[in-house]
A and B are shown apart, each in its own frame.
Chain A
């Protein structure tokens, strides 16, 4: 038995879990898939005095697509999203294939991954690039936090210990949108050293009408590149312009160096990956008729 002692509370509904979190204050952690929390408990990097297990909260299940928005309940596993994506969204499919391994995705939840806020994780960057948001409930209220206001620092979001993340929403790219995803990791399924996601939409004239270029693993939080996106918007995404945007985007990053990779390496790789994902996104764009 490796974790430090804790009280275990199996909530029966979202309201029950919210109550418990209110009661325990900042002493409790929510246990959803547990694929990051349980290792942290085993290594005693986390020593909460209580775990609020939400796995029996039927009202937190579900994954629904409606009107171009994908809503993912707090208990939807990464594997559920992968199965949803298989016939529908090669972007989600490709991103999820890089999230750890099947046995981890069978348990790990999408929302848990999003609010765990590992800076090298793929899904937070995808949430950012798809103008997503996370809904959180606490005793007496509910609020929705857009992705660009969610991530503050490594493993730190603007949610507080009394907040229960109940669902996340992704805005699905419109028909005809092009996308690209790439990451460099030491082994398949490992956290990325650097990763990049792009989503582009062209107007009838062939100019970029919507651009998202995001990175992960290059700092404390996932980031969207204002510099890179600005160079593409309103213009035709020629090969030269994509290279220019990729370089500008990478130049604006300030990654940290660590035992896995130096800051310079990360920046160089970021430029290369951005070039590749932009080229892939342009290649996949279909112009409106």
Chain B
């Protein structure tokens, strides 16, 4: 069973006929070739596939592509402001070694971007609570916490400047 959807992804409008059984994660990766959204557990536990739906982080494996009709999705491909510039969260992950194999990273970056909008000056405890929704099998959590804290500082400094 197919269904027509019109959805805005990273600012671009797409119209596609999707199989109703397709998840948003499958749709992004297979129909739109946006393979930056990684698929880990496919049942909502690992957080690797997290994207923003109308600005709020959601698991793209726990939503049907058909449900995105009329909505806006943001993925890791749309985070950097330009081809030769990183978003402060990406910059901080690079500077603080916040990734090892990188598989969980896109999901964490998406969550972190939304989290820092809502909590611009988070405590380490709040960062850890937010990270509890993401599994990193390389287990480099300390550096991830430091990266997000660094991103918060950098973004605060930018706002002041």
Contact = CB atoms under 8 A, between A and B. Distances in A.
Interface of A: 1-3, 5-8, 10, 31, 34-35, 38-39, 42-43, 51, 53, 55, 79, 97, 100-104, 106-107, 187-189
A43 B43 CA distance: 8
Interface string B32-57: 00000000001110010010010011
What's the interface size class on B, roughly? Answer: 20 to 34
Interface stretch (B14-22, B75-83, B88-96, B142-150): B14-22
Give the dominant DSSP class at B's interface.
mixed
B132 A38 contact: no
B21 A6 contact: yes
A103 B57 contact: yes
A7 to B, nearest CB: 6
Contacts of A8: 1, 3, 20, 64, 66
Contacts of B50: 103
Contacts of B1: 5-8
Interface of B: 1, 3, 19-23, 26, 42-44, 47, 50, 53, 56-59, 61-64, 66-67, 111, 114-115, 129-130, 132-133
Nearest to B128: A188
A79 B21 contact: no
Contact of B56 (A43, A100, A106): A106
Given A34-B67, A39-B43, A39-B62, 10 more contacts: A1-B19, A2-B23, A34-B62, A34-B64, A53-B66, A55-B67, A101-B47, A102-B111, A106-B53, A107-B59
Nearest to A43: B43
Contacts of B130: 101-102
B124 to A, nearest CB: 14
Contacts of A2: 21, 23, 42
B132 A34 contact: no
Nearest to A8: B20
Contacts of B61: 38, 42
Nearest to B71: A55
B57 A35 contact: no
A281 B56 CA distance: 34
Contacts of B59: 35, 103-104, 107
B42 A103 contact: no
A34 B61 CA distance: 10
B28 to A, nearest CB: 14
